[in-house]
Amino acid sequence: MVLAVAATLGGFAGAQIATEMNNSSDDATVSTPDSMRPSSQPVLTAVPGLDVPPVVDVAGVVERISPSVVTVVASSRGNTGAGRSTGTGVVITSDGEILTNSHVVEGSDDVRVLFGDTIDPIPAVVLAADPGNDLALLKVDLDGLAPAVFADPGSITIGDEVVAVGFALDLDGGPTVTRGIVSALNRTIANSDGALDGLIQTDAAISSGNSGGPLLNANGEVIGINTAVFQSSFNTAANNVGFAISVGEALPVIETLRGLADGETRVEGYLGVGLEDRTDGGRGAVITDVGPDSPASRAGIEAGDIVVDVDGTPIDGQGALIAAIRDRSPGDTVAIDVLRGGSRLTLTATLVERPVN
């Protein structure tokens, strides 16, 4: 089975998610005006506890979200040749903040966005990016925009009807709209930067160009940011298996991105272990080796241990453990439950910044 990011790429060299972002449009200057700094406006969220009905009016959902959905075009003029990536973004504040996937703008020299009622693309600055969570925060020098409303994370359940909106395949005209259901929650998938967790799985069709676009409930509220789709391989068939970064994961990342300096990348926690999945059908991630003088070593983790829980969150496989540690920061202390010799132990590790090789 092949995992594909849902961005349209045209000539970018490589698909690695960047480890450092330093992108801006040609119009940006060293002295950044206040209008192009992170917003102080709160992200709009739905009132918790309200019922979410079935999707009976797709056109109404699209009408509500359309002013908040933009095309994101990222260009590169690197040593390996020019390239272009097209994805989708979601307006999150009236003064110009836009959320998209990190992989849409990775490695770019110039980022611009196009609103549905504009003719010319508008320069955007990449304020910050979190490749580990595949989210990036952009800013345009505009005011009076229509921000999207984010759903209450607790309102999302398996079987909910959803609508995906985005600029699939970079086709001419307005965004592409597809309909489906929430197929599963809290999925974890491996990607080029490790793993993404807390994902919403959906059977709503997601294609290249949908990256960074919203997955919506019947109220037109954003429940996730579309990011990837499984494709069939020689050995595995995959149909209508797409993934969105859930609102519960996205909201805290937005605040983290706002707190970072322009172009900076969040420093992730480091445990210092090698991993593999279990092959006996059981749940958990197997420790294959432990780095010397690493947080894992100091916590007493040993090769052969099976990690089954981190801070109360079940670990289904190595991807889930990678994502759980990545979501923490250096200095964070985590409780790690391991199976060893038929016993379950709880060990405590204090994470550090990844050592420089």
Helix (H, G, I), strand (E, B) or coil at 80: coil
Q: What is the dihedral of CA 37, 40, 45, 48, to 10 degrees?
A: 150
- SS3 of 156-177: CCCCCEEEEEECHHHCCCCCEE
**In angstroms, rounded to a whole number, what is the distance separating the alpha carbons of residues 204 and 226?**
10
Two tokens, residue 234: 């020689």
The DSSP annotation for 302-323 comes to: -TT-EEEEETTEE--SHHHHHH
User: Residue 229 forms beta bridges with which residues?
Assistant: 4, 242
Exposed (0-12), middle (13-18) or buried (19+): which is 338, by Cβ within 10 Å?
Answer: buried
Q: Annotated catalytic residue: which of 85, 95, 102, 103?
A: 103
Two tokens, residue 88: 């989708």
Contact 1, 238 (CB under 8 A): yes
Q: Annotated catalytic residue: which of 39, 211, 246, 294?
A: 211
Two tokens, residue 100: 């998209």
Q: Annotated catalytic residue: which of 95, 130, 134, 160?
A: 134
Two tokens, residue 289: 């080796």
**In angstroms, rounded to a whole number, what is the distance separating the alpha carbons of residues 55 and 165?**
14
User: Residue 215 forms beta bridges with which residues?
Assistant: 164, 224
Contact 104, 112 (CB under 8 A): no
Is position 102 annotated as part of the catalytic site? Answer: no
Is position 40 annotated as part of the catalytic site? Answer: no
**In angstroms, rounded to a whole number, what is the distance separating the alpha carbons of residues 126 and 97?**
10
**In angstroms, rounded to a whole number, what is the distance separating the alpha carbons of residues 81 and 66?**
34
Two tokens, residue 296: 């894992």
Is position 134 annotated as part of the catalytic site? Answer: yes
**In angstroms, rounded to a whole number, what is the distance separating the alpha carbons of residues 314 and 323?**
12
Nearest to 221 by CA among 355, 68, 327, 74: 68
Contact 90, 225 (CB under 8 A): yes
Catalytic residues: 103, 134, 211
